[in-house]
């Protein structure tokens, strides 16, 4: 992704995806890369793993160390992360209602009268 403006907005979408799926029982990096790829996002491990580390540092995710050297690190949603996800879901629903094409037309008509 070369456009830094687009990347900045997509970063928020990626984080929402991560919080959502971590809340469904946990995620690991390779699975998350595949899940985001399924939605059309092309991230490298060098992009995803720092995001996961920052989210864990903020207390939104908890990383479980692998039980064996070749094991995967599982990330789960924390109570703080669940609160963040709830906030984001509420804000996203409000924003979607505001900016959806059908809604926007009605809003503009109401304010221009």
Give the domains, in start order, of the chain with CATH numbers. Answer: 4-112 (1.10.10.10)
Q: How many residues are recorded in the chain?
A: 113
**What percent of the chain is predicted at pLDDT more than 70?**
89
- Per residue in 47-77, pLDDT tens? 999 999 999 999 999 998 877 877 788 999 9
Mean pLDDT of 76-90: 95
């Amino acid at each position: 992704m070369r456009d830094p403006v687009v990347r900045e907005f997509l970063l928020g979408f990626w984080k929402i995806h991560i919080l959502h799926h971590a809340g469904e029982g946990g995620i690991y990096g390779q699975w998350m890369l595949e899940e985001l790829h399924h939605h059309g996002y092309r991230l490298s491990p060098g992009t995803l793993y720092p995001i996961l580390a920052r989210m864990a540092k903020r207390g939104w995710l908890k990383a479980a160390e692998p039980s064996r050297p070749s094991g995967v690190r599982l990330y789960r949603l924390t109570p703080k992360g669940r609160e963040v996800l709830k906030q984001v879901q509420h804000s996203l629903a409000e924003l979607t209602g505001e900016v959806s094409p059908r809604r926007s037309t009605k809003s503009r008509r109401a304010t221009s009268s």
